Amino acid sequence: MYYTYVLKSEKDSKLYVGFSIDLKKRIKQHNKGLVSATKKRIPFKLIYYEACLDESDALKREKELKTGFGRAYLKRRIKNLK
């Protein structure tokens, strides 16, 4: 499986959208400060993810979620999950 995921920084409440084949390992990397894009914003909490069978589908979804429309979708989706 390939995962597109959304993390929320507990430091500044901002979201980070990413992609990984090993979701648990990737979250640990983020929280250990091993990811340069997020190391100043740790700790993170996983708030949303989607699983795909195909790597290209997961990467496409990651790019979609990083757009304005994707961020609006996440805002609505996360609000409904609370």
Mean pLDDT for each 10-residue chunk of the chain (82 residues)?
Answer: 96 94 97 95 96 96 96 85 55
Question: What would the CATH number be for the domain defined by 2-81?
Answer: 3.40.1440
Q: Give me the pLDDT at residue 80, please.
A: 64
Cα-based torsion angle of the residue sequence 62, 25, 23, 48 in order, rounded to the nearest 10 degrees: -80
- What 71-76 contacts at long range (C-beta under 8 Å, 24+ apart), as own/partner pairs, is 71/15, 74/6, 74/15, 74/17, 74/48
For 60, the token pair is 């496409």
Q: Give me the pLDDT at residue 79, please.
A: 78
Residue 56 to residue 63: CA distance in whole angstroms: 11
- This prediction's pTM: 0.90
